[in-house]
Amino acid sequence: MSRVAVLMGGQSAEREISLRSGEGVLRALQAKGVDAFGFDPAERPLHDLLKEAVQTAFIALHGRYGEDGCVQGALELLGIAYTGSGVMASALAMDKLITKRLWMTHGIPTPAFAKANEASPAELVKALGLPLAVKPSREGSSLGFTKIESESQLAEAIAKAAHFDDAVVVEAFVTGREFTVGLLQEPGGLVRALDVVEIVAPKGNYNYQNKYFGNATRYECPAAITPELAGLMKALSCKAFEALDCEGWARVDILWDDQTPNAQPQLLELNTSPGMTDHSLVPMAARESGLSYEDLVLAILKTARLKQSALPAPGGQVPA
């Protein structure tokens, strides 16, 4: 195995969770005999990876500068292979507004939405109804998220989300059950959907605290749904992955209104660098599929590559 740097920490609001993900990944790689070490881009310049003779980076960064195409572009310039999606797919998936617009062109069901600054509160409520979900477009871990029940709450919720990002999504709130589907790409390119996980959070509030701390949230894996519905969720997740041109692995978050006959699952977002903590959902689904945490990490590492390596250098000739 080549020398591997596990990128963790970083500068985003999700730094604490990234450190926990990275520590788990690092332990798993070392347990598998990989020459791996931790590297925090907030503490060392990325160029130091060349000094360390790193050939491959396992990206365990979450949020800005780690999941949005920034570090992916830097690694391309440094010539260091990396896990997960490339520059464009990472940037697209990080932006919930762009993701939803692209999904709609592919016929992938997603809740109705608008950009906050494109309409007045009254117009947003009229167009989308109540309740509403308000969240920053380019942030994760439910940071800046608010569920509102009245128009009078909208301005404050938008201001809260805008603290994390200047683009704010206002979305029709789907009442129902919450699910997630982990995706793992095989070396040959085939995308495998892991077992569907249902998330049962206290009062339906799957916030930052309930995601990563404490044990109040329950997880059902595989989810107690029909095989047909599970198959549909998996198929839609794979389609969503391909629509954004993702690579390596990902996780898709889904809501489903189980009280409305013939309701379609609604896809919320796709995470290109999912959590790998002891509370994280991709490792949970992988275990149910017979894949240990260590084997999951190794499988992800094996998909690492440079995405731009086939392109000619500036001024070079295109191969015949």
Positions marked active-site? 14, 141, 212, 251, 253, 269, 271, 275
Which of 36, 33, 77, 26 is CA-nearest to residue 56? Answer: 36
Alpha-carbon Rg for the chain in angstroms = 20
> Quick check: 109 and 142 in contact, CB under 8 A?
no
DSSP state of 305: B
The pair of structure tokens assigned to 130 is 């109540």
The pair of structure tokens assigned to 28 is 């798993």
Which of 134, 121, 120, 128 is CA-nearest to residue 163? Answer: 134
Cα 82 to Cα 40, 93, 119, 299, distances in angstroms: 15, 17, 40, 13
DSSP state of 290: T
